[in-house]
Structure 1
């Protein structure tokens, strides 16, 4: 269908887009904003002041008005930028308790005030609100300002479907029971069958009163008020799930929402400064380097870090290992085995953060040890990298099921949370060489072709995205018509003879 842009600039849809303030949510939200803008939308993108501070901290001071989307505007996209308080001073190192307090009780009021201001002053007028599904206040704000309500889900549709049917899981004793059932779950629409061990970590817990559960409950109460749901997935990979969800709410698989050509985005979204690994990678043979990263949030025990380090040492494989400073905890640092860095200095590079896309798209990289965050899974597939899976929490356990059991493009690092150096070394060698590695690469290339086909001009994701825009325009015009009708003076019929 090709690029479909709005003909009349006076009638351009204007969408407010707001990401959830975590690295794994900000990046796809920015990519979605760019994709909408490339279709002719005006976008106002909202970041929290804390996220904006983290993105810009340590980088060149920016001039007034030279925000993170300056490069996008120079390329011709109509993207404005705003920031909102999350209820705490800018620059504060959030602890978990403060983050939860902000998301559940503080930020909604600040966003309401900002959206109201944008709605009153924006040209063209704001017509829709696109919010991360985990925001618990989007339906209330969209209704208040008469905006079309679009929910953006940044994890697999399978995970959305599980959360959407919490009531069924609860009724059947697979969730919120003092002793959750362990038999196969085969009663959720759009899911053939799933084992309880493959549910998201929050659905496996017996204590369902935690802050994480409260966020999920509120988010999925809120999503009932959405007009449309956009999924960062591919229809061919999750067709039954998407079809089942579409019967409940208009749902569109539009993924992967990568920057065009899978190049590094012209919009900076990284919350930490990035090491440039290119020069080091250039010295390594094709497909010889293992990339090891557990994302922006996962924390390992010091024992696990030790075993992974020893496993890398024993494997003999070249590697880049992303070890955040807070990898063990926010309060204490980790230590590596004595002599480790000297022992692997010719074949190992340890960094605190890097451009993941820049590294895994390099021809020297041949495998990926991952926590199975959804962005990492999609990016790894795009680069034809087999995955060695070590999930920790949230959707990662369910993503592992898709990668290992359904698509056959990865293997488990271990079957339990505790790992041994011998197992790490063995699995690394299986991933990087021999028949096992070749078979995984072959399957990964097949799934990559599915992604490539989906975002091609006549692919499912592109068609779905264009259909979403058509349906959105219809919804916007209907809303405008109703608003105009309600503003017309009505004839007083109270005195007309019966």
Structure 2
């Protein structure tokens, strides 16, 4: 077990238990940083597997966030493979016991456990030990409402979904959710794989009522209808605590003394001229689709910065001279750069929040899970982006000629279409910035949650 020296005795000790995946660990860590930034008397014990500790132990963090690790109970072939249902099943069945044992070994008794909603067994552990539990949902509040009301899809004969037959059909009976194509709902491919993942996801919702708090990583103004609906249906306190993205890094260090060639390259490009492309870190488009995108970039003559993990060398040879292909970049810092004019995105919730926060419009190319629904919110509800793939079938290849056309149209800053999209993107940016400032909706909810924790915290040594 990894050990670090704890700070002086705090008023409140939070144990944070994230789902062991990058898209879940990052928002949980950003939440913890926000909590300790707002109150220095909070200590956070951040629990990860030994393998994840090796990945993130050197990341910068405040002194009053300390790491503890549990054994790698998930087989490595599942961590690096693509059998996501087996990965989820291992997490649901093998992590509870070592986490429960870890709580007895901590220097201080937990005041509260903040856990990823997917890890429903944390609620079991907390209730058994009489420790308050805050359920932290790392996707949108709107998707939470979709899962919570999954039974309505079954009652109306819309689940399992067969998108090849009725993907274009729209439903408008999910509380707090505007009219939505069946193809844009999560886990919609009618496969045994999706059915298994849906079953495990819904199991977590059976324990929501046993938690003491529910936290959404969102801004109320972005999802007001869904959040109001959930507050009316659930009895536990709900806090919409903000976007939990690393915006404090930008605020505290807007121009870091770093020697990144891609930042220097962005500095040399015209304002709003560069298309940033990132397709996420877990699910990915097919090799054939990636080739179509690369050839389209070469033909379009549009400036671009493409993060393509594992394929950067190959794609550099295809894409031409108008941009950069990288293995990694500081995404929020790139998106906030003045030369970025658009974001080609898989529409994961973390990436969606970052681009909304800095006012960059989208070309959406979702792949799986909540991504199609996030794309729907971007294009239909917020109207700050365009869909690259208009066909609802998941296996349809978008050809080079189609991609060239939409990229050129999207990056034309003088067109009426993109002007409206950019105006709305800037307006959402203002809304998000106001929400996290003193007196804003997210600032109030974050401090309300902190006040609740401090009020009910009975801190003793373990």
TM-score (norm 2): 0.86
Q: Which SS does the other structure have where 2:157 is aligned?
A: coil
Query: Equivalents in 2 of 1:307, 1:214: separation in Å?
Result: 35
Find the counterpart in structure 1 of residue 13 from structure 2: 14
Partner residue of 1:150 out of 134, 139, 142:
134
Q: Does 1:415 align with 2:390?
A: yes
Partner residue of 1:72 out of 41, 62, 65:
62
**Which structure 1 residue ranges, 5 or more long, are not aligned?**
1-8, 57-66, 267-273, 328-332, 484-498
- Cα offset for 1:265? 9.0
- Cα offset for 1:115? 2.1
Partner residue of 1:437 out of 410, 418, 421:
418
Find the counterpart in structure 1 of residue 403 from structure 2: 424
**For 1:93-131, what per-residue CA distance to the aligned partner results, in whole angstroms no more than 9, with x for missing partners?**
63244633431221121111112322xx31xx3110000
- Cα offset for 1:237? 1.4
Q: Does 1:460 align with 2:441?
A: yes
Query: Equivalents in 1 of 2:342, 2:138: separation in Å?
Result: 24
Q: Which SS does the other structure have where 1:173 is aligned?
A: coil
Distance 1:148 1:239, change over 3 A: same
**For 1:420-473, what per-residue CA distance to the aligned partner results, in whole angstroms no more than 9, with x for missing partners?**
111111111122113122221111001111101110101001111222233344
Query: Equivalents in 1 of 2:76, 2:288: separation in Å?
Result: 34
Distance 1:392 1:275, change over 3 A: farther
- Cα offset for 1:224? 3.0
Partner residue of 1:448 out of 429, 432, 454:
429
Q: Which SS does the other structure have where 1:16 is aligned?
A: strand
Query: Equivalents in 2 of 1:283, 1:217: separation in Å?
Result: 48
Query: Equivalents in 2 of 1:402, 1:147: separation in Å?
Result: 36
Distance 1:264 1:468, change over 3 A: closer
Distance 1:276 1:335, change over 3 A: closer
Find the counterpart in structure 1 of residue 183 from structure 2: 197
Find the counterpart in structure 2 of residue 340 from structure 1: 318
Q: Which SS does the other structure have where 2:105 is aligned?
A: helix
Partner residue of 1:107 out of 95, 117, 142:
95
Partner residue of 2:206 out of 221, 242, 253:
221
8 Å Cα contact 1:292-1:321 kept in structure 2: yes
Query: Equivalents in 2 of 1:324, 1:255: separation in Å?
Result: 29
Q: Which SS does the other structure have where 2:207 is aligned?
A: helix
Find the counterpart in structure 2 of residue 55 from structure 1: 56
Q: CA RMSD in A?
A: 2.9
Larger Rg: 1
Partner residue of 2:148 out of 149, 156, 164:
164
Query: Equivalents in 1 of 2:138, 2:20: separation in Å?
Result: 13
8 Å Cα contact 2:384-2:422 kept in structure 1: yes
Query: Equivalents in 1 of 2:182, 2:77: separation in Å?
Result: 40
**For 1:280-312, what per-residue CA distance to the aligned partner results, in whole angstroms no more than 9, with x for missing partners?**
222222221111100111221121011101111
Partner residue of 1:87 out of 68, 73, 79:
73
8 Å Cα contact 2:13-2:110 kept in structure 1: yes
Find the counterpart in structure 1 of residue 274 from structure 2: 289
Query: Equivalents in 2 of 1:322, 1:311: separation in Å?
Result: 16
8 Å Cα contact 2:307-2:328 kept in structure 1: yes
Query: Equivalents in 1 of 2:324, 2:271: separation in Å?
Result: 17
Q: Which SS does the other structure have where 2:95 is aligned?
A: helix
8 Å Cα contact 1:132-1:152 kept in structure 2: yes
Number of residue pairs matched? 434
TM-score (norm 1): 0.80
Query: Equivalents in 2 of 1:144, 1:13: separation in Å?
Result: 20
Superposition pairs of residues 234-245 of structure 1, within 5 angstroms: 234-245=219-230
8 Å Cα contact 2:92-2:121 kept in structure 1: no
- Cα offset for 1:172? 2.1
- Which shifted more, 143-152 or 108-117? 108-117
- Which shifted more, 312-321 or 89-98? 89-98
Distance 1:378 1:92, change over 3 A: closer
**Which structure 2 residue ranges, 5 or more long, are not aligned?**
1-7, 254-258
Distance 1:209 1:406, change over 3 A: closer
Partner residue of 1:370 out of 326, 333, 345:
345
Find the counterpart in structure 1 of residue 256 from structure 2: none
Q: Which SS does the other structure have where 1:82 is aligned?
A: strand
